[in-house]
Structure 1
Amino acid sequence: MGCYALLPLLVLSSVTGCCAVEEAQATPRAAQDAALRRFRRGWIWKQFFVPEEDPAPQIIGELKSDFDKGDFSIKYLLSGEGAGDVFEIDEYSGEVRTLKKLDREKKAFYILRAQAINRRSNQPVEPESEFIVKVQDINDNMPQFQNEPYVSIIPEMSPTGTTVMQVTATDADDPQYGNNAKLIYSIVQGEPYFSVEPKTGIIVTSMHDMDREAREKYFVIVQVKDMMGLSGGFSATTTVTVSLSDVNDNGPIFQHNHYSFAVPESAPVGTTVGRIKADDSDVGVNARMNYSLEEREGSGTFLIRTDPVTQEGVILLAKTLDYETKRQFFMAADAWNDHVDTRFLPYDEFRDRTHLKIVVQDVDEPPVFLLKVYEWKIHENMARGTTVGAVTARDSDAADNPVRYRIDKDTDVKKMFQIDPKNGTITVEKPLDRESAAWHNLTVTASEMKQSGLSSSVPVFVQVLDVNDNAPRFPREYRPYVCEGVQSGELVERISAVDKDEPPEGHQFYFTLVPEKRINPNFTLRDNQDNTASILTRRSSFTRQDRHQYLLPVVIADSGVPPLSSTTTVTITVCSCHPAGHCPTGGVEAFALTMGLSIQTLIGVLVCLLMATVLSILMLAVRRHKKHQQGESEEEENEPDPWEAASQKVLRYTEPGVEGDSGAGPPVPLRPHPRRKDRRQWRAEVAASIRLSLRQSCNIGPEDEVFRQFIQDRLFEADHDPYAPPFDCLRTYAFEGIGSSAGSLSSLESVATEVNAEQPRDPGPPFVRLTLWHGHTEEETNF
């Protein structure tokens, strides 16, 4: 390889941008003159024909710039085809070296570009130039026949020299360099029946008496050699199948008795594992193939199909693989023709068999959970730390790396559950409430405990089972009413209940009155045994004057284990109903009005009413106190009280002819004046009333009927308070006498009748005088 002549120096002119290459025919003197000749800003390097397959690294040339003074101020750069991969340059010396062996058959030459720059200024000192590195051919490729296998059909009894076919071989070596690619054909097998033309590879018959019945098929082995057949060259052979008036008398034949294939365990179903081919010297329909597989285990992991184009048997993956479960598969493959004609060949010879070995390759796989989905059940209200269940995953690889577990998803799920990262046990982090969430969906991830370990996830569903932890209650607030004059035993309200729990056999509610008030004189409660109860009247003649509302405590119990109960008070309002039984104010309408107002509004109204009441009482007390002080300053201490005197006045009747007051009725005293009451006692009563009002307003809600009853009681007391104005006064009534046909409307009629019965009267018109005390004034009226 090192015997090639060194080419003269090549000089590139930076001014013209051209390359000038001097050939090897120059004399030594001319080469010396060329070396001494200097061009301004020129390139100088040496060039070689690089033999292929030479070991690397190898120096193939050197780039030099006439600006290079040897002080390493020039930096050489290389670019182009193979720069940095196949070739490299020493940036200081400019030497170009190969980095790997070159193959001319892959690439015959490389076009490279060189550049020299100043290290300090980083500016080019020479324009970029282009040069070519040629790869010199050696005889390193053997000839190969093309379009194998060769099959030909010729008529039987063909004359000598009949062309059977032409075989063609090619050589990847350079045909322009030596004899490396010059081929010579010869017959190795097939004589004396066939011969081949040495340079063209055309096969012709050598005998004229070939008989199809005597021999149906001939296999002609043709050899080809390079280097014109000289020693040291390469050779190759091919088989040409020559059929005489072909019939299907040749069965399929596998090229190999054993085939081996490899497939990774992660390959999906349908992956092509490999191809096998059974050769048949026949052509056309007689060469059509069918393939079948016979597995020893009969697992059906693989299947085979015939490629309609190449007639190959394509082996496909039918099931997923697992390296840890089964690493090798052994099976037999059969090939046979579509059309069988037993006239020319026994039936057994139409079938061929080969053996297959398929190796499963290990692939790093993520951990595998034992179940695809985990579903557990747990009762609600279980204590923290209670075990819900455990997930299990293992590394299916041969290394069997340990795994760690974690719960994915949102933080709310993580607050409800906890998982042991080592064994996958899931526990309750805080008690669960079925009424809040009956199902919890978790995603558990298992990761290999190694660097860049794989991971896999599995869904986990947790169902929260119900326990009896909610007491039954009314579905809404009942506001029943009872009409005045209702009869005993009539339905007041039908009540029902609801429960947040969900017992397996459904709800069963029981309704009773509270034990201490089970015998109620006004109402009774009847359990209808269908999760409802009826409130019935126990007596008749309810009146609003007797009582405005009734409170009925009702106990509702469920059938859970353990059973739970709740007590709710039902407020029953007495209403003056319409004839049709509708309560316009005391029943549903009052309830709707109450529900329409918010609690804050009712409290505000209550406070305003209380403040107004207190202020009114205080102002009245102050006014009375001032009036009392003013009256004492104007009157003498021994002066009789006009109110006290007025209270001693009597109503007298006077008629003509009646002397004195013997006929008058008994005296009727008036109410005493409020000032006669002790002021200290009155102030104490006012203070007690204020305290009672405030205390009851704090203990009873504004929407409660007790509060409204309290307000009505206070109003009733104010209306009937004898010490509150206005005070009593006497009204005048006229007695028309016995002779009046209309009679008398006065309550004094009986008194007048008794007077007339005792003393005879003048039959003239009756006369009655009524004396009325009103305040401090005495008035008389004559009739």
Structure 2
Amino acid sequence: MDGCSVLPMVTMISIMTGLMGSGVTVSKQRPSQSQLTEGPHAPQLRAKRGWIWNQLFVEEEDPTPKIIGQLKSNYDTGDFTIRYILTGEGAGEVFTIDEYSGEIHTLKGLDREEKAFYVLRAQAIDRRTDQPVEPESEFIIKVQDINDNAPQFINEPYVSSIPEMSPVGTTVVQVTATDADDPMFGNNAKLIYSIVQGEPYFSVEPKTGIIVTSWPNMDRETSEKYLVVVQVKDMLGFTGGYSATTTVTITLTDVNDNGPMFQHNLYTFGIAESAPVGTTVGRVMAKDADVGVNAIMNYSLVGLEENATFRVQTDPVTQEGIVTLAKPLDYESKKRFAITIEATNDYVDTQFLSIHESSDRTKLTILVTDVDEPPIFSAPYYEWKVLENVPVGTEVGTVYAKDTDAANNSIRYSITKGTELKKAFKIDPNDGTVSVAKPLDRETAAWQNLTVTAKEMKENQLSSSVSVFIKVLDINDNIPTLSRDYRPYVCEGTQAGEVIQIISAVDADEPVEGHHFYFSMVPDKHINPNFTIRDNQDNTAGILTRRSTFTRHDRTMYHLPVVTVDSGSPALSSTSTLTISICACQPAGHCPTGGVEALALSMVVSMQVLLGLSVCFVLLVVLSLLMLAIWRHRKLQQQKLAAQELDAEDYSEKVLHYAETNSAEDATCPIQPVPLRPHPRRRERGLRREEVAASIRMSLRHSHLIGPEDEVFQQFIMDRLAEADSDPYAPPFDCLHTYTFEGTGSLSGSLSSLESLTFDPCMDQPRDPGPCFLRLTPWQGTVDDETSF
């Protein structure tokens, strides 16, 4: 170490020692290399510069500007060559610095509660070079506290509760106050608590603010709520401090320290002997000074007899004991009841109340008053049984009623309501014996419900009624029958031994052990070669085939008698005949719609339908002929007049064309024009009525068997066309011959040209239907429809 660096180090040590001894703060920051080389003593290469200033503190709430400290660099020789600069929190607003002396001044009063200290930075600048002679240093100005804030309670309002009878020292609640002053500076924020109101029942711990009980066995029933005023002071309660108060609401909660107590030692009630069960006799009340669950009580009756005749229960709202009637009363048997009622707390806390103190008793007298009562039956209802085949006059049972009053009037019985207005049974009015009045049938009514009335013959003629239930017992008087109308069928490919139908039976009877039916064939010398019956022993049977050669061509249906026997005693039986049809089934074995059933139905009704349609058709033809005759007569008159005017002038030939241009088939099938014929001479009609009738009979006979390709249909069309073309009596008018055939399979068997595939006048051979089918070249003139059907 050379001599140039020893002197600055010695100087720095001595300055720091002096500052630490005098309480002066010294900056520990090192100047940068540029700061060392740029200062006025740069060639000396000083490694450290020291700041010198007094301890900086300022008291709050002092509005007078004053000097609070001074900043000074050890390079300051007093020639004002150093300029001091102050920056940071409050610089220029709260604090200012004398740039020549380094003195720091306050500009306004400070509030420690608003800001407790300020962090500032100071610089020392050489005025000649405008370069810092010291590194920028940071320092703190502290604001000293004064007692300028009063304590305040937090978390207000204070509400608390404790059980009554709590021991002394029980903690109630803790109150808390705060002071904005500095707790680390003097006694400004040191608080102490005291009771202003609430003694001697409560006290407060001075330092913690915890309120405790100070009075033993406080009773809620005496005083339920307390208002305690607590005061807090700062400065430990010394003179010159601030204070504040708060109110604490303390409620005593209830404990079960009181038992129930009746207000009266005796209660008296009256009730009529006719009162129904459940009638309220009266109410009793035991008071309990407690509240809530501690005041809930239960009432009970003391004594077995009274407990059976009467009941008592607690009203949950009023806590009263409600005495009700538990069973009917009889004035003639007992006129007075003496009852003891006990009220007991539902919840007992033995810490405050003994078992003996938790209940109380009172006496209750109930007087029964006499009432003229109606007769009373010996039973609430009667239930009897009787066989359905018993003869008329058989006794079923007897009802009995008695007048329980002292008069004991005689009784008359009658059936006032029952099945079929009491016709099935009758009753002896004197002794109440019920007997059968007409034959019974269990299948019609299995139960007979009667209402029997007993009426007093004297006094007020009071009456009462009772229900009588009569069960009609079953006997085996109904034959078994099949459960439904079975329609079995056999597919043509069915093999021998296959089940074609499962059958079951029903019986209107109701045996005790349930139904059991037996199925069999009708006894015969010969065995049925086609079918057999197999009893499944479960009230069902199967119909089985015995051969495999069933065809519709041989036979369409078979009849199979089935014998059904029940298990009654004596056993009854019935015979039902099943109609088994032969069907051309689908591959899955299903008989298609219109198969067996349609065939059977058509065989039954086809003759009737055809007969009806034939009659309608004949009537229609007759009417048509009559109208045709009238129209023809008028037409002949018109033709005579036209013949005189024309004088045998021939009609010019004109051609009318009919074609459908939208059909491709018309291009290959052109319609040939037909010339008009001259009007022929009048002569008799060539078509006889016998031929028309024969044609109609032929149509009816074959209509349901022919189709568009059938020869009969084609021949019929050709014959009608030939007749129309060769009829010399038809006038030379346009005519359209229309023949109707509704198609094959129709029950009516009518004819129609629609949908027929028989004749094409364009190609003279059968073909598919199209726009060229049966086109006729019409005659020019008025339409003549005399040959249309």
TM-score normalized by the length of structure 1: 0.36
